[in-house]
Structure formats: C-alpha cells, structure tokens
Amino acid sequence: MNKKIIRIAVCFILPVLAFVIKPVHCKGEDGSIAGNIFTSEEGIVYKYIDGTDECQVVSYTGNNRNIVIPDEYNGYTVTSVAAGAFHGNWIINSVVIGSNIKSIGNGAFSYCSSLKNVEFKNSKIKAVPENCFEACSSLKKAKLPGSVKKAGYRAFAFCTSMYQIIIPGQVKNFGKEIFYGCSKSRLTVVAERGSEAEKTALEYGLLVTDSSQTVLS
C-alpha cells in the first residue's frame, strides 16, 4: 500500500479512536492533553509528579464554595499546592488543607476576596509563603500548624477582616510587611510571651495575647 495513503489513514483513524476509547486513569495515564493533569469532579485540578506517587494541586475550576484539599486523590498522595493555584478566586468561602500537604506556593490563596475560613489539618507545612493569603479581605481567623517555621513577605497583608491569628512559638522567621494593611484595632495575634511572633505583632502595633480564648467585641 502506498505510504502516503497509510499516513493519511493513520492521521484519520487515531483521532477517532482517541475520541471513542475512554482513557485509563492511572499514573500519568489520565487522558488529558498534558498527560499528567487531571480535574476531579469537585473541580480541583491536580498535576501528577513524574516518578513519584505524589500529586500537586495546581488550580480550581469548580463552583463549590467550601474546598477540601484531600490527603490522597486517585491513588496519589496530595503533597503540595502550586503558586497562585487559587489566586483571585472570588467563589470560595472556606478551605481545609489536607494533612499530607508539605508545601504551598507563593500567592496560592491571594486575592480570594470571599475566603472566610482556613483550616490546616495536622500539617507538614514548614512555611506559609510570600503573599499566601494577601488581600483575602473576608478572612476572619487563622491558626498556623505547629510544623510552620516561617511566615513570608505579605503572607497576611490586607486581611482587613481578620480578628485573630494563632501563631505557635516554633515560627521564628517573619517576612517584611506580613501584616501590612491589617486593622490595628481589630487583629489580635495569639502568641507565646517573648516569642518572635509577639515581637513582630508589637512592631506592627497589633494587639497581642497569650490566650486563644480571648473574646473580641
């Protein structure tokens, strides 16, 4: 058979087969264009990390206002959230960050104007990165997990509604302008006496207490 005819036949048949045959969702074989990207029914977009049993949250396309980043998805351990993954999302109201998350990229939740609640499960996160929750103007309260050692540049800047943040004594490193634009008359930092968190809060003129039971009017 003429080679040209064979090439034409192949070019015609393969797209048809790709449309008809349902892809197998296993490691890297999720049927997406990129080959290692998959969107869950909830709208969370994952990227499988080659050569590992891990995946990363890279985006969100769903309409659910309450997001739960799971410990595992499709047989993969969910270990990270990419930089800017939820940036500018005005839909989400709450986020639960799974216990297997080891790292969060810069600005992952920045400018999520409707985000009110953030919960870290028993996390392995070592740092809250730069601009992580910047301009989350509806965020009310945050409690950093005990694994965190660092809070980066403008991590909570312009969180104008936030009234309480609980920071464990293990956090020793604070980036510049971490609380820039936050309300000095509203935000209370819960921190150990003499800790770096207390010192940083006082530098910003914020209220400080060593008790998470503080009730604010």
The average confidence (pLDDT) of the chain is 86
Give the pLDDT mean for 138-144: 96
Q: Which residue has the tokens 């003499």?
A: 194
What per-residue confidence (pLDDT) applies to 10? 36
Is the separation of the CB atoms in 46 and 76 below 8 Å? yes
pLDDT at 4 over 70: no
pLDDT digits (tens, 9 = 90+) for 30-81: 434 356 999 999 999 999 999 999 999 999 999 999 999 999 999 999 999 9
Please say whether the beta carbons of 169 and 192 come within 8 A: yes
Q: What is the pTM of this model?
A: 0.81
CA proximity to 147, closest of 125, 172, 128: 125
Q: Tell me how far CA of residue 14 lies from CA of 19, 28, 108, 120, 162, in angstroms.
A: 9, 20, 38, 46, 55
What are the angstrom distances between the C-alpha of 17 and each of 3, 36, 145, 169? 21, 20, 49, 58
Confidence of residue 123 (pLDDT cuts 50, 70, 90): confident
Q: Give SS3 for 66.
A: strand
Query: Residue 208: pLDDT above 50?
Result: yes
